[in-house]
Structure 1
Amino acid sequence: MWEPYKKGFKAYLQLERSLAGNSIEAYLADIEKLTTFLLLKNIKKNPSELDLGDLQQFVKWIAELGMTQSSQARIISGLRTFYKYCLLEDITKTDPTALLEAPKLKRTLPDVLSFGEIENIIASIDLSSPEGTRNKAIVETMYSCGLRVSEVVNLKLSQLYLDVGFIRVIGKGDKERLVPIGSSAIKYITIYLATRKHVVIQRGEEDILFLNRRGKRLTRVMIFLIIKDLVKKAGITKNISPHTFRHSFATHLVEGGADLRAVQEMLGHESITTTEIYTHLDREFLRKTLEQFHPGFK
């Protein structure tokens, strides 16, 4: 009964939204959970017949299954996207998710590195080995450009425009963006490329920038292990992952007064609301600034 709607929704996510495969699978899994619930409760309704009460029962059911609040919120977000598609295709005239409440989530702010801590991490890299030169280029690029881990491991030589200070990044949903790259990152990429000439590059990997000693691109796990090792050497006890460099890049920009739209563009966020988390992150910075410079602030 729901199969044609699922197929149409999948096509919408692929063609209209240009989402990556794993994102599409997640959305379809949300609708699958809804249809499982309808089957178990013997509710024989199509999307246009479901009402707010039905969806509230569904949310209660997934909560009783033991799903976390964040999982519940994500599923509700998936239902909203599905009904957006239904309205576009005239499958429904109303949106029953409009008044559907998601659980209130406490937004946890990620750890951020100070500029001094990033400098300490970079200083802890052993440059006497080829891997050290590569790792320095990786860390400098991650912080300079605010890249996701997947964007780092898939960065290609053909995407570097170092002479004009830009790199072309392929982000989520294969969306492209141009990101400025700093002089320090350019310097260490250039040094790394000179040492990389000794590596025997595997077929198909010739255009990949960061390679392991066997001439293949690095995995996400390998980047994670490199960062963990460097953080330990630098004596930093915060919970740090490769993504922390992206958070730090954005936070330092916002703290410095950068335009939020510009930060959104550089991070490749689809929505400005995702970028707005960094306005919360820098509240402590604002407080410290007031304490330091405002004579009447106690």
Structure 2
Amino acid sequence: MKALSHSVDSSIRLYLDSLWLEKGLADNTRQSYQRDLTHFARWLDEQGEDDLNAVTGQQVMAYLAWRHSANYSSRSTARLLSCLRGFYRFQLRENAISENPLAGIENPKLPRSLPKLLTESDVEALLSAPDVDDAVGLRDKAMLELLYACGLRVTELTQLTLPMLNLRQGVVRVLGKGSKERLVPLGEEAAYWLERYITSKRSELLAARPSEAVFPSTRGVAMTRQTFWYRIKHWARVAGIEKPLSPHTLRHAFATHLINHGADLRVVQLLLGHSDLSTTQIYTHVAQARMQSLHKMHHPRG
């Protein structure tokens, strides 16, 4: 694969570095932005344009048309446009360009997708699956309980360190997107399993290796998000759950079950760490769909 020109590569890196400095860009997001910008730059190069700062709105539209013909999803294209908008706003701010080629280009309309939902009985089965007499099983049990009790993102869960837990007060300090901190209550059940795991089995996994990671792997280092999802899929099979699992399955269940039981939407927003209430509102649609389904099933005139 042909390498990008030095000027193009430097422009992309400078933009990503500025995002990291200004917004604390997460590694996963940075890699995603880098892939999108690199793909766009390579497509332009194939069209005979080797300068990102010389791009016109027509070229952007041609790239979007090519993506459509190549069957890219509207969701991935919307993410790409968000990335390009940020990149060219930065170029304007740095006086590298005089006009924004994204001006007037609208995002594709996205279908409103509802999260795949685990029922409360599904969650109970999943949480009961690990063998708590085993060090790995007890660690996984504590992770699942904490994930469901607090609605954490997987990365937030795997990056937890001991100083971020306060079992006496029953709260966890979470480092979310953009390095924003929030305090989330643990609940009695999660606090119980965390304390049991930390006092009895965590040292067994560490095998005398120093680490502040709450959930080390069997190698004694902080678990990766990929490893955790291998573990949760394993316990889903053990529990007999055949529904597809996504990286946010238990986070979705946490939010939906709270709203089903009458929680205020703004409280759920704070617990999830959403900066915009509209992001949280999707869970009201999940709850409404569930109510409609129950009404149709049980009402004599449903």
Q: TM-score range by the shorter chain?
A: 0.7 to 0.9
1:173-203 alpha-carbon deviations (Å, 9 max, x no partner): 4332221111110011111122126516267
| Shift, 1:294, TM fit | 9.1
Which amino acid in 2 is paired with 1:25? Answer: Q
Q: Which structure 2 residues correspond to residues 264-283 of structure 1 after superposition, within 5 A?
A: 264-283=269-288
Aligned residues of 1:227 and 1:242 also touching (Cα < 8 A): no
* Alignment CA distance shift 1:203-1:11 (3 Å): farther
Matched positions, count = 296
Aligned residues of 1:223 and 1:242 also touching (Cα < 8 A): no
How far apart are the structure 1 equivalents of 2:160 and 2:64?
Answer: 41
Which amino acid in 2 is paired with 1:117? Answer: D
Aligned residues of 2:116 and 2:249 also touching (Cα < 8 A): yes
Aligned residues of 1:205 and 1:217 also touching (Cα < 8 A): no
Q: Which structure 2 residues correspond to residues 57-206 of structure 1 after superposition, within 5 A?
A: 57-65=62-70, 67-91=72-96, 95-196=100-201, 199=204, 201=206, 205-206=210-211
Please state whether the residue corresponding to 1:168 is helix, strand or coil.
Answer: strand
- TM-score after normalising by structure 1: 0.82
- TM-score after normalising by structure 2: 0.81
Aligned residues of 1:199 and 1:215 also touching (Cα < 8 A): no
How far apart are the structure 1 equivalents of 2:216 and 2:49?
Answer: 54
| Gapped regions of structure 1 (runs ≥ 5) | none
How far apart are the structure 1 equivalents of 2:103 and 2:258?
Answer: 35
- Give the root-mean-square deviation of aligned CA atoms: 3.2
> What is the match of residue 56 of structure 1?
61
How far apart are the structure 2 equivalents of 1:9 and 1:214?
Answer: 36
1:137-193 alpha-carbon deviations (Å, 9 max, x no partner): 111101001112222222111110121221011233433222111111001111112
1:115-140 alpha-carbon deviations (Å, 9 max, x no partner): 22212222333333333332221111
> What is the match of residue 264 of structure 2?
259
> What is the match of residue 228 of structure 2?
223
* Alignment CA distance shift 1:27-1:237 (3 Å): closer
> What is the match of residue 16 of structure 1?
22
Percentage identity across paired residues of the two chains: 35
Aligned residues of 2:205 and 2:220 also touching (Cα < 8 A): yes
> What is the match of residue 3 of structure 2?
none
